[in-house]
Amino acid sequence: MKIGFIGMGNMAQAIVKGLILKEAAQSSNILAYAPSQEKLKKFAENTGIIPYSSLENMISDSDFVVVAVKPDIVSEVIAPIKDLLQNKALLSIAAGWDFSRYGEILDPSTRHLFIMPSTPVQIGEGISIFEQKHSLTADEFEQVEKLFSAIGIVQILPGDLMGVGGTISACTPAFFSMILEAVADGAVMHGLPRDAAYRLASQALAGTGKMQLETGLHPGALKDAVCSPGGLTIRGVASLENDGVRAAMINAVSASVKK
State the binding site for NADP(+).
Answer: 6-11, 68-71
> What is the DSSP secondary-structure string of the chain?
--EEEE--SHHHHHHHHHHHHTTSS-GGGEEEE-S-HHHHHHHHHHH--EEES-HHHHHHH-SEEEE-S-GGGHHHHHGGGTTTTTT-EEEE-STT--HHHHHTTS-TT-EEEEEEE-GGGGGT-EEEEEES-----HHHHHHHHHHHHTTEEEEEE-GGGHHHHHIIIIIHHHHHHHHHHHHHHHHHHTT--HHHHHHHHHHHHHHHHHHHHHH---HHHHHHHH--TTSHHHHHHHHHHHTTHHHHHHHHHHHHHH-
Which residue numbers belong to the known binding site? 6-11, 68-71
